[in-house]
A and B are shown apart, each in its own frame.
Chain A
Amino acid sequence: MNNTGTNVTPALAAEMGLTADEFARAEAILGRTPNLTELGIFSAMWSEHCSYKSSKVWLKTLPTTGPQVICGPGENAGVVDIGDGDAVVFKIESHNHPSFIEPYQGAATGVGGILRDVFTMGARPIAILDALRFGSPDHPKTRHLVAGVVAGIGGYGNCVGVPTVGGECQFHPAYNGNILVNAMCVGLARADRIFYSAAAGPGNLVIYVGAKTGRDGIHGATMASAEFGADADAKRPTVQVGDPFTEKLLIEACLELMQGNAIVAIQDMGAAGLTSSAVEMAGKGGLGIELDLDRVPVREAGMSAYEIMLSESQERMLMILAPGSAAEARRVFDKWELDFAVIGRVTETGRLVLHMRGAVAADIPVGPLVGEAPLYQRPWRPTPPQPDIDAATLPARDPRDCLSKLIACPDLASKRWVWQQYDQLVLGNTVQRPGGDAAVVRVGDGLKALALCTDSTPRYCRADPERGGAQAVAESWRNLTAVGATPLALTDNMNFGNPERPEIMGQFVGAIAGMRAACTALDYPVVSGNVSLYNETSGDGILPTPVIGGVGLLADLRRAVDLGLKRDGNALLLIGETIGHLGASLYLREIEGRETGPPPAVDLAAERRHGDFVRARIAEGDVAACHDVADGGLLVAVAEMAMAGGRGIALDPPPAAMPAHAWWFGEDQARYLVETGDPEALIAAARQAGIPVRRIGIVGGAALTLPGANAISVAQLISANEGWLPGYMAQA
């Protein structure tokens, strides 16, 4: 395709995802009909993926500030102060659509993209987490997708040398046609050496660094902004190909150049490639950029302006250099053997002007392209409430059988098979590896550490988006607390269906409302994030899945605790109130075969009180092990602690007033299990603070013993829990 040979019409614009209205607006901005390259630029910049046109009005309602926040949403990643002049830089991003089409490359380039968002800000990436959701294990594509995605994440992360320390992996038929691959990257920078993307200094050189531009991933952002039809496989050419080796060189080269003062502004070329990076830099700086496309390093001859501007070739960066810095930049990029080219300059015109083969290939005013991007108040319909589930009407069952079944169900089964394919240790700072409530990663070579986790409970969000949104934030905060960390801030990945359907938009609006309430109540602001809409195939949407990536701080990593039971004779205490809520629970789904009922209530004041109490006890050294009570309820949480510690426990009888299944498997929120050698003191402290507390067992032996001497050995639990995923993946 080239500018002269193609007639730009509203029909072509529609093919590129622009509505008639949006096309008319583009024409008005230019005062003429756009040429093909310009149309491509409008289409990419105004795609849902780049413009957030359906979500922006709601995202703006989230709390994004706090004394710890250095930079909130709007830059490549969020930046939070962690004291001593250090800052943590982090963001989560989806690569859902590409990963469904081509799982290895889709997932790999998802990792590559989020790494670039973080080191672009001047931070060295120190950890990756991946929140994955696949379709039903019975679906014919699922095994292939799991294998490809996991290999892709590992293939990229392992090679660049950033440890993958955590994440999630769950299954539900609602993801059969749209899997979710959300990758989070966490980096470290000096708080006074953060790099931003706003262009500055008319006349300054614009340079291109990294891999050459090829014909891959053209118009990927537009692909990611539409539903899949039956032709999903035909979209494979829109998926990019990753090169982690080049990324590794880019990381080292950029961080080396950032030691000096050569870089005025920097932006990675992510979705919509050179288009979005150039437009965002110019837009944020209120300036113009002029590019000579003949100077862009290309993989093959004959590429058109349209292709160069919309390629999503990976591992590329755009920088604006301080005057007189070109030689220094060239020295660094030559050392790392990376392509480097001066491709343009900053101007005062406020226009994006592209030259190619002696002609002007595009000339667009940046202000209106960014500022007049469409913004939609889409109609929405609230999700109708689910009728309550009365636990007393459910049949009584042997809790041992239920437990064995639950810990081997796809959502709760051990994901060791997944994370053993990720290098969890490289860089030598991994204190707690995957498998716990949160990973713990040391900061530099001191005693400070970061706690990291990702969380979402989509079945709650479907039943009640507002409660589900609040619960996701609360669980994230709780998981950080459970290792002893103080939660600092979060990054969110909003994965939803087609926002043009009012019931889907209602899910989005509800989830945001719940998140807003929880973030506010817990002083846990949103500093970065990503929205992925149109996760639908042939009209079937995914479960609403707001994934929360949480970051917390441990002042002294020697005080961190994990979930494994530590010592025979210690007591296990339950902090928080149990009413035995079974609506939308895993018990109901896996044991009774029902996905009904409302999710548990989220009492944010109780969350805060209980969490602050537990964190303080951990800091005092009163807690030997800690685990939050979440999916599957109390007995599952106890079993997870027993399996992690390789140690049994004798459990006390449940309260008489409650059906046993409600006690053991209810999913009431704001609860923690804590192991302690001095239960009297801890119980007294909790009572004094007005916090519900109850002893539920004594650690010891090699079995989990329920009241009535019904025992199940820890070895048997481990075998059931560890067996499912490797067994599933080994089936041909």
Chain B
Amino acid sequence: MNTAVVIFPGSNRERDLCLALKRATGRDPLCVWHRDSELPSVDLIVLPGGFAYGDYLRCGAMAAHSPIMREVKARAERGTPVLGICNGFQVLTEAGLLPGALLTNRTLNFICRDVHLRVETNQTIFTCGYAAGQTIRVPVAHHDGNYTADEATLDELEDRGLVAFRYCNAAGEIDDDANVNGSAHAIAGIFNRGRTVLGLMPHPEDATDPLMGCGTDGSALFAGLVGALQ
């Protein structure tokens, strides 16, 4: 399986991501510079975490207008799977590939800690490695992860089953204390209508190496993608 990781100036989790992708696919992903206007033929495009352009205007806003994003959008429209993690999720919302927006965490602070997520559906290429309703533990590391959208959009996400992950407690229950950043409907990640684009704030890529201190609950996301796309 061939993957491309888009690097913006200020991306900083591409290393974590490339390690996780290599572990799952057995191949180094292609790193594509944001100024490039062409993408190689790949099975999956990933936008990594970080602070593209310093997140100075609004998280992901400037990156969404990078030359490469025209091509990412075109590919996504033709059905190439796109995964955006953390800053990558913010870029996808700014680029219009996913609805809604990510506001400042309700604590107003950056938060880096492990959280529990409930897998809402496993009927997608991204989550087929999990059981529906499974609780997983992965880290978050963000300042602006408070998902918001208008009521109509939230209704549509719920009605069509487009919520990928929700913040929950260790027992898998959705409660306000577990909603680490205050997201609407405790949303941690969403799909587009075709379920070919996933954006999520947590970092599954940082929970794929048994030697590191974050567990390996993120591995099934990458393994599932390989199984679905290969």
B residues near A427, Cβ cutoff 8 Å: 15-16
- Shortest distance from the beta carbon of A554 to any chain B beta carbon, whole Å: 12
- Of B65-73, B109-117, B154-162, the segment with at least 4 beta carbons within 8 Å of chain A is B109-117
Q: Which residues of A contact B19 (CB under 8 A)?
A: 428, 445
CA distance A433 to B215 in the complex (A): 13
The residue of chain A having its C-beta at the shortest distance from the C-beta of B22 within the complex is A445
B51 interface hit (Cβ, 8 Å): yes
Inter-chain CA distance A155–B108, complex, in Å, is 12
Given contacts A425-B203, A557-B211, A558-B211, contact A248 B10 (CB under 8 A): yes
Determine whether A422 belongs to the interface, using a CB cutoff of 8 Å to chain B.
yes
In the assembled complex, 16 residue pairs joining A and B whose CB atoms fall closer than 8 Å, in A order, are: A158-B141, A160-B12, A161-B12, A161-B51, A245-B51, A419-B112, A422-B110, A423-B112, A425-B16, A425-B112, A426-B13, A426-B16, A427-B15, A428-B205, A428-B209, A432-B213
Q: How far is the CA of A577 from the CA of B193 in the complex (A)?
A: 67
Question: Quick one: which of A544-580 are within 8 Å of B by CB?
Answer: 557-558
A433→B203 CA distance, assembly (Å): 16
Which 4 pairs of residues, A with B, have the shortest CB-CB distance?
A: A161-B12, A245-B54, A428-B16, A159-B51
* Nearest-Cβ distance from residue B211 to partner chain A, whole angstroms: 6
Asked whether any CB of chain A lies closer than 8 Å to the CB of B212, the reply is yes
Question: Given A426-B16, A427-B15, are A244 and B213 also a contact pair (CB < 8 Å)?
Answer: no
A44 to B75, CA, bound (A): 56
Inter-chain contact B10/A426, CB cutoff 8 Å = no
Chain A residues positioned under 8 Å from B213 (CB to CB): 430-433
The residue on B at minimum CB distance from A159 is B51
CB distance B54 to A336 under 8 Å?
Answer: no
Establish whether residues A442 and B54, one from each chain, have CB atoms under 8 Å apart when the complex forms.
no
- With a cutoff of 8 Å between Cβ atoms, the chain A residues found around residue B20 in the complex are 428
Alpha-carbon distance between A420 and B180 when the two chains are bound, in angstroms = 12
- Which residues from B are CB-within-8-Å of A433? 213
Q: A154-B110, A336-B9, A557-B211 are in contact. Are A426 and B205 (CB under 8 A)?
A: no
Q: Is the CB of A421 within 8 A of B212?
A: no
B110 adjacent to A425 (CB under 8 Å): no
Interface centre among A154, A155, A245, A557 (most CB of B within 10 A): A245
Question: What's the nearest-Cβ distance from chain B to residue A209, in Å?
Answer: 15
Chain A proximity mask over B50-87: 1 for CB below 8 Å, otherwise 0: 11011110000000000000000000000000000000
Contacting residues of chain B (97-136) with chain A, CB-CB under 8 angstroms: 109-113
Q: Are A423 and B205 in contact (CB under 8 A)?
A: no
Residues of A within 8 A of B (CB): 151, 154-155, 158-161, 243-246, 248-249, 336-337, 419-433, 442, 445, 447, 557-558
> With A420-B113, A558-B211 given, can you name 7 additional A-B contacts, CB distance below 8 Å?
A161-B13, A161-B50, A244-B51, A245-B51, A249-B10, A421-B111, A425-B139
Task: Give chain B nearest CB distance to A416 CB in angstroms.
Answer: 8
* B109 touching A245, Cβ below 8 Å: no
A442 touches B212 (CB 8 A): yes
Is A423 a contact of B51 with CB atoms below 8 Å? no
- Report the Cα distance A93→B141, complex, angstroms: 26
In the docked arrangement, what's the CA distance between A246 and B53, Å? 9
B49: nearest chain-A partner, CB-CB: A426
Chain B residues in 8 Å Cβ range of A558: 211
Pick from B10, B112, B205, B206: contact of A159, CB below 8 A: B10
A731 to chain B, nearest CB (A): 15
**In the docked arrangement, what's the CA distance between A161 and B142, Å?**
12
How distant is B201 from chain A, measured CB to nearest CB, in Å? 13
Shortest Cβ distance from residue A422 to the other chain B in the assembled complex, whole angstroms: 6
The number of A-B residue pairs with CB atoms under 8 Å apart is 93
A220 to chain B, nearest CB (A): 23
Nearest A residue to B214 by beta-carbon distance? Answer: A425
Instruction: Give Cα A425 to B9, complex, Å.
Output: 20
Contact call B13/A429, Cβ cutoff below 8 A: no
* Complexed CA–CA distance, A421 and B180 (Å): 13
Are A421 and B51 touching (Cβ within 8 A)? no
Contact with A along B198-230 (1 / 0, CB 8 A): 000001011001011110000000000000000
How many Å from the CB of B207 to the closest CB on chain A? 9
Given A154-B110, A158-B110, A159-B54, are A426 and B12 neighbors across the interface (CB < 8 Å)? Answer: yes
| Chain B residue at minimum C-beta to C-beta distance from A432 | B213
- For A428, what are the chain B residues with a Cβ–Cβ distance below 8 Å? 13, 15-16, 19-20, 205-206, 209, 212
Indicate the member of A243, A420, A422 with the most B CB atoms within 10 Å.
A420
Q: Beyond A337-B9, A428-B19, is A423–B141 a contact (Cβ under 8 Å)? A: yes
Q: Which residues of A contact B113 (CB under 8 A)?
A: 420
- Per-position 1/0 for B33-56, Cβ under 8 A of A: 000000000000000011101111
Across the two chains, which residue of chain A brings its CB closest to B9?
A249
Answer yes or no: B143 CB below 8 A from chain A CBs: yes
In the complex, A431→B113 CA distance in Å?
Answer: 14
Chain B residues with Cβ below 8 Å from A159 are: 10, 12, 51, 54-55
| A426 cross-chain contacts in B, Cβ below 8 A | 12-13, 16, 49, 141
Residue of B nearest to A251 (CB): B12
Provide the bound-state CA to CA distance between A558 and B16, in Å.
20
Whole-angstrom distance between the alpha carbons of A187 and B206 in the complex? Answer: 20
Chain A residues, Cβ within 8 Å of B55: 159
Query: Which chain B residues border A336 with CB–CB below 8 Å?
Result: 9
From the candidates A248, A419, A430, name the one contacting B51 in the complex (CB within 8 A): A248
A431 close to B12 (CB less than 8 A): no
Is A422 a contact partner of B112 (Cβ separation < 8 A)?
A: yes
* Docked CA distance A427–B15 (Å): 6
- Given the complex, which residues of A lie within 8 Å of B16, measured CB to CB? 425-428
Residues of A contacting B51 in the complex (Cβ-Cβ under 8 angstroms): 158-159, 161, 244-245, 248
Closest A-chain residue to B14, C-beta based? A161
| Residues of chain B within 8 A of A151, CB atoms compared | 109-110
A161 to B56, CA, bound (A): 15
Residues on A with C-beta less than 8 A from B49 are 426
Given the complex of chains A and B, what is the CA–CA distance between A424 and B140 in angstroms?
10
List B contacts of A154 (CB < 8 A): 109-110
Asked if B206 and A425 make an inter-chain contact with CB atoms under 8 angstroms apart, the answer reads yes
Most buried by B among A160, A336, A337, A433: A433
Whether A243 pairs with B109 at a CB distance below 8 angstroms is no
Interchain CB contact under 8 A, A420 and B111: yes
Which one of B16, B51, B56, B212 has the greatest number of beta carbons of chain A within 10 Å? B212
Question: Which chain A residues border B206 with CB–CB below 8 Å?
Answer: 425, 428
Instruction: Identify the interface centre among B12, B51, B139, B203: most chain A CB within 10 Å of its CB.
Output: B12
**Interchain nearest-CB distance for B7 vs A (Å):** 9
Closest Cβ–Cβ distance, residue B6 to chain A (whole Å): 15
Known: A158-B141, A337-B9, A425-B141. A245 touches B211 (CB 8 A): no
Report the bound CA distance from A337 to B53 in whole Å: 11
Shortest Cβ gap from A349 to chain B (Å): 40
| Distance of A245 Cα from B9 Cα, bound (Å) | 8
Taking CB atoms, residues of chain A closer than 8 Å to B111 are: 420-421
